[in-house]
Structure 1
Amino acid sequence: MPTLHVEFFEGRTVEQKRALAKELTEACVRVLGGSADSVDVIFTDVKREDWATGGVLWSDKAAKPASS
């Protein structure tokens, strides 16, 4: 069965991670079969300064005011 790697910006609560792990596990079992005990979910919290999109760090994007 699968090992799912979920990366997102830090700040999610344990409750949110718990709920997401449950939902992802149930989806894998429903679609792929097998048992829930064989599904692994690994969460990685990433700082905004460690993630860039389009060549711009997300920490820099958050620091800029929204343009109108």
Structure 2
Amino acid sequence: MPYVNIKVTGGSEAPTAEQKAELIRGVTDLLGRVLNKNAATTVVIIDEVAMDNWGVGGETTTVRRQKAKFNS
């Protein structure tokens, strides 16, 4: 039984319900096509992580996005 965990930033940039459904379908189809896995037993979990809880390069995503807006 394949288990896939997708983590995305939440808040204002969180994917819509339609986008989440598309991700779940797409990942399930990909595992079926590439690894011959049964869609009925494929589990896909999407976790939304607050941007203050997601860090890259020593900074939260909130800070990085603010800097990107300021620099553009």
* TM-score, normalised via structure 1 length: 0.89
Give the unaligned 5+ runs of structure 2.
Answer: none
User: Once superposed, which parts of structure 1, at least 4 consecutive aligned residues long, lie more than 3 Å away?
Assistant: none
Greater helix proportion: 2
| AA of the residue aligned to 1:6 | I
Report the RMSD for the aligned CA atoms in angstroms: 1.2
Paired residue for 1:40? Answer: 43
| AA of the residue aligned to 2:4 | L
User: How far off its partner does 1:33 sit?
Assistant: 1.1
Paired residue for 2:55? Answer: 52
In the TM superposition, what whole-angstrom CA distance separates every residue of 1:1-47 from its partner, at most 9, and x where no partner exists? 31000001111100000011001000001111132111100000011
Paired residue for 1:66? Answer: 71
Sequence identity, in percent? 30
